[in-house]
Homo-oligomer: A and B are copies of this chain.
Amino acid sequence: MLRNQIIDRIQKNKTCLCVGLDTDASKLPLHLQGKPDAILEFNKQIIEATSDYCVAYKINTAFYECLGARGWEIMKETLRYIPKGIFTIADAKRGDIGNTSAMYAKAFFDQMAFDAVTVSPYMGSDSIKPFLEFKNKFTIVLALTSNAGSADFEQQKIGPDYLYERVLRTSKEWGTTENMMYVVGATKAEALLKIREIVPHHFLLIPGVGAQGGNLEEVIKYGAIKNEVGLLVNSSRQILYASDGEDFAEKAKEEAMKFQGII
C-alpha cells in the first residue's frame, strides 16, 4: 500500500483509527469461549463491525504465537477478512542480523501479505534495511513506546538526545516517508512536539490510547500533520472488549465510531 492511499482513506472515512487485534482467548465473549476457532470468528465479527470506521488493523503476533502453528494460520486467515484498501500491520517487533531479518521480512510481507511490520531498532541499520527493500510495504520502527520500561533505555540520554530521538535521527536516513513509520506511545503526548521537529513528515503509529492512559486530543494536537494527518492511533482492548456479551461487535463498532470526527 502507498502513503497516498492511507491518507485518502483517512480523509474519506474521517478517522485515523487503527484497530489492534490483540485477541486474547481468555477475554472472548462468554458465548464464544471454548468453541473451535472462536478467535477467528471473533476477529471476523470485529472486522465486519469496525472496518468502515478505521484505516488500519494491527495484529500483535504474540497473541497468536502463544497458540502455536494454529495461531499462525489464524493470523493469515484473519488477514483475508480485512477488506482491500485497509492498511494491515504485523506488530511483531522483530529485528536480527541482516540475512535473518530478510527471513522475517519474507515471513510477514510474502508468506503473509501484511502491508507493514513493526521492528526493534536495537541492533541498528542492517537489522532494519532488509525490511525496507520490499516495494509498497512499510517498516514501522519502535521509537518511544508507551510502557513504563521505556524509561530504562529509550529515555536515557545519548549526548543531547534521548535514545529514542537518536533512533529517529539515525534511522530516518535509511528509508523515506514512503516506506517508514515510527511507533510513538501516546502516554508521552508532549514529546510529540520534539519528535515532529525530527520527523515532520513520517506517519506515526500511536499505541497506548485508552487502556494505557494516552489522551487522543493531545496526540492530535501535537502529532498531526496538516492535511495529511500522518497518524495511526491504535486502540485494542477498548474496542475488542467493549462488551463480553453477544453484542460485542455492536459495542466495538460504537467504540470505533467515537474516533470519527476527532481529527
B157 A170 Cβ-Cβ under 8 A: no
Report which A residues bind B (CB closer than 8 A): 22, 24, 60, 62-63, 65-73, 76, 91, 93-98, 100-101, 103-104, 106-107, 110-112, 120-128, 142, 145-154, 156-159, 163, 166-167, 170, 212
Q: Are B124 and A121 in contact (CB under 8 A)?
A: no
In the complex, which of the residues B65, B122, B163, B166 contacts A104, with contact meaning CB atoms closer than 8 Å? B65
Q: Are B149 and A103 in contact (CB under 8 A)?
A: no
The smallest C-beta distance from A119 to any residue of chain B, in angstroms, reads 10
13 A-B pairs with C-beta separation under 8 A: A62-B94, A62-B101, A62-B104, A62-B107, A63-B103, A66-B103, A69-B76, A122-B145, A123-B154, A124-B148, A153-B167, A157-B159, A158-B158
- CB-based contact B103/A126 at 8 Å: no
Beta-carbon contact of B124 and A150 below 8 Å: yes
Contact B97 A147 (CB under 8 A): yes
Minimum CB distance partner of A98 in chain B = B147
B residues in contact with A142, CB < 8 Å: 122-123
CA distance A106 to B66 in the complex (A): 6
* A67, A148, A153 interface centre (most CB from chain B within 10 Å): A153
